[in-house]
Amino acid sequence: MARKTTTDDPLAPVTLAVGQEDLLLDRAVQQVVAAARAADPDTDVRDLTPDALQPGTLAELTSPSLFAERKVVVVRSAQDLSADTIKDVKGYLGAPAEEITLVLLHAGGAKGKGLLDAARKAGAREVACPKMTKPADRLAFVRSEFRTSGRSATPEACQALVDAIGSDLRELASAVSQLAADVEGTIDEAVVGRYYTGRAEASSFTVADRAVEGRAAEALEALRWAMATGVAPVLITSALAQGVRAIGKLASAPRGARPGDLARELGMPPWKIDRVRQQMRGWSADGVSIALRAVAEADAGVKGGGDDPEYALEKAVVTIARAARAGRS
């Protein structure tokens, strides 16, 4: 779980979420937004990437309002802000505005360390969101999720869930939530086996998520695991198509629109809007076109147009991952 220091008040003037674990970073943001909307249902939330936060933008967003509206300003990847914008943020930290909560998401590390140090010196509430790279960390996460849900799970069940799901914290959290909602009494290894052995749909979307995030090696690993456990190739091409199309839909949507409005317009749940918004960094219109062609070729290959469905899928996954990374170089 994310660890908090300095103060536990999510409505502190500044919250600093540090780390590279996307789920924990998102939860840090969601906690602040939930607290703000509990205090004022009309709270305005602005979720910004570095390219959207130009010099002067923060001053505009935090300027006093005639209606004294509550506002949450989220700045993602704060380590990537321009030098001039960092000056603006540092200046704001010295005199934060009332009724406004600033949330800075920072990867940690050396890049942008001056901003990190300035936020800490200013007394920002800090939430640690470290990347969980060790199996033991993910096992501890699953146990914590069950405790938080008020449910009991055996050690064997927790381990079986980590073995079945893998390293994706979002999927682990979702699996715990599903088990907690569906199963009465203590959750044991047999229950986990019934629910998650050979999870065709979940494993196909894991392949798609890793591919559109540009993580080719992890996508290929997930693909081979899916194929080895009997997932139908058509499910994987379908998941890849949905992942790429979601990127294209959100990329063409109006900038600055709220997740709820986008969800209605694009036909996606709000949580997926947030997820796709993170995945689309680095994508271009040309990249989406290239990826869609790759999916179409793979679809033809797995439906009889080629001799090796697995090779067709591997080729598509690599092409999609390259397209995802192309805009970052």
Structural domain boundaries of the chain? 14-129, 135-196, 204-324
Helix (H, G, I), strand (E, B) or coil at 242: helix
CA end-to-end distance (rounded Å), the chain: 33
Please report the pLDDT score of residue 256 as a whole number: 65
How do residues 123-172 score in pLDDT, each as one tens digit? 999 999 998 888 889 899 999 999 999 999 999 899 888 877 777 888 88
Residue located via tokens 């704001």? 92
Decide: 187 and 154 in contact? Cβ < 8 Å.
yes
> Which DSSP string do the residues of 90-147 spell out, in sequence order?
HHHHHSPPTTEEEEEEE--SSTTHHHHHHHHHTT-EEEEE----SHHHHHHHHHHHHH
Backbone angles phi, psi at 75, to 5 degrees: -115, 110
Please report the pLDDT score of residue 260 as a whole number: 67
User: Within a 13 Å sphere around the CA of 152, how many CA atoms are in the beta-carbon half?
Assistant: 3
Pairing between strand 125-129 and 14-19?
Answer: parallel
CATH classification for the domain delimited by 135-196, as one of 1.10.8, 1.10.3470, 3.30.410, 1.10.860: 1.10.8
Please report the pLDDT score of residue 269 as a whole number: 64
Low-confidence ranges of the chain (pLDDT < 70): 1-7, 65-68, 197-203, 254-260, 263, 268-271, 305-306, 327-329
- Measured between alpha carbons, how far is residue 99 from residues 68, 175, 261 in Å? 7, 37, 24
Pairing between strand 100-106 and 14-19?
Answer: parallel
Decide: 187 and 146 in contact? Cβ < 8 Å.
yes
Please report the pLDDT score of residue 293 as a whole number: 94
Pull the structure tokens for residue 31.
């906690």
Please report the pLDDT score of residue 21 as a whole number: 92
Rg of the chain's alpha carbons, rounded to an integer? 21
Domain 14-129 belongs to what architecture? 3-Layer(aba) Sandwich (3.40)
Helix (H, G, I), strand (E, B) or coil at 46: strand
Please report the pLDDT score of residue 75 as a whole number: 96
Q: What is the pTM of this model?
A: 0.59
Pull the structure tokens for residue 326.
């192309």
Pull the structure tokens for residue 301.
């290959």
CA distance 293 to 238: 13
Q: What is the CATH number of domain 204-324?
A: 1.20.272.10
Pull the structure tokens for residue 72.
């949450």
- Measured between alpha carbons, how far is residue 249 from residues 263, 290, 328 in Å? 11, 15, 20
∠27-32-36 over CA atoms, to 5°? Answer: 145
How do residues 97-133 score in pLDDT, each as one tens digit? 988 999 999 999 899 999 999 999 999 999 999 988 8
Residue 122: other Cβ atoms inside 10 A = 16
